[in-house]
């Protein structure tokens, strides 16, 4: 999973060619801690996507710009265009995240 230090780097990476999946999280978030152990397997199952970790607290401007209020959340991009979002404050299971990704446009 890629990590960037600045909001500008995250936004540039999200809008790059190919498929990106932004994973919004925070260190204090118990629901984020719940899904975190499954993330390496999810990443391995979807190699077409570059997964980008976005710390909601460190990158609050990105979260605000993208309308992310609840975490953990996921926003998918393809060639710079948003193609789907799984954004809410609910705990997410590995199966729910995989169903979201599988349901995205091919």
pLDDT tens-digit map of 4-58 = 989 999 999 999 999 999 999 999 999 999 999 999 999 999 999 999 999 999 9
Average pLDDT over every residue of 75-104? 94
**What pLDDT does residue 90 have?**
83
Active site residue 32: yes
Cβ atoms of residues 5 and 53 within 8 Å: no
Q: 2-102: which CATH number, 3.40.50.2300, 3.30.1360.120, 3.40.30.10, 3.40.50.720?
A: 3.40.30.10
Active-site residue among 10, 21, 22, 29?
29
The full set of domain ranges for the chain reads 2-102
d(CA 21, CA 18): 10
Place of tokens 């990704």: 101
State the pLDDT confidence band at 89, using cuts at 50, 70 and 90.
confident
d(CA 69, CA 75): 13
Paired tokens of 46: 């979807």
Cβ atoms of residues 104 and 89 within 8 Å: no
Active site residue 29: yes
State the pLDDT confidence band at 106, using cuts at 50, 70 and 90.
confident
**Edge-to-edge strand order for the sheet containing 81-86?**
2-3, 49-55, 19-25, 73-78, 81-86
pLDDT digits (tens, 9 = 90+) for 59-81: 999 999 999 989 999 999 999 99
Active-site residue among 22, 32, 66, 97?
32
**What pLDDT does residue 5 have?**
84
């Amino acid at each position: 999973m890629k990590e960037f230090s600045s909001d500008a780097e995250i936004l540039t990476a999200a809008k790059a060619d190919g498929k990106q999946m932004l994973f919004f999280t925070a260190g204090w978030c118990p629901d984020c801690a719940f899904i975190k152990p499954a993330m390496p397997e999810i990443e391995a199952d979807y190699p077409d996507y570059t997964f980008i970790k976005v710390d909601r607290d460190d990158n609050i401007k990105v979260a605000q710009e993208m309308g992310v209020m609840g975490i953990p959340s996921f926003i998918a991009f393809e060639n710079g265009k948003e193609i789907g979002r799984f954004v809410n404050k609910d705990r997410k299971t590995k199966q729910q995240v995989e169903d979201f990704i599988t349901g995205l446009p091919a």
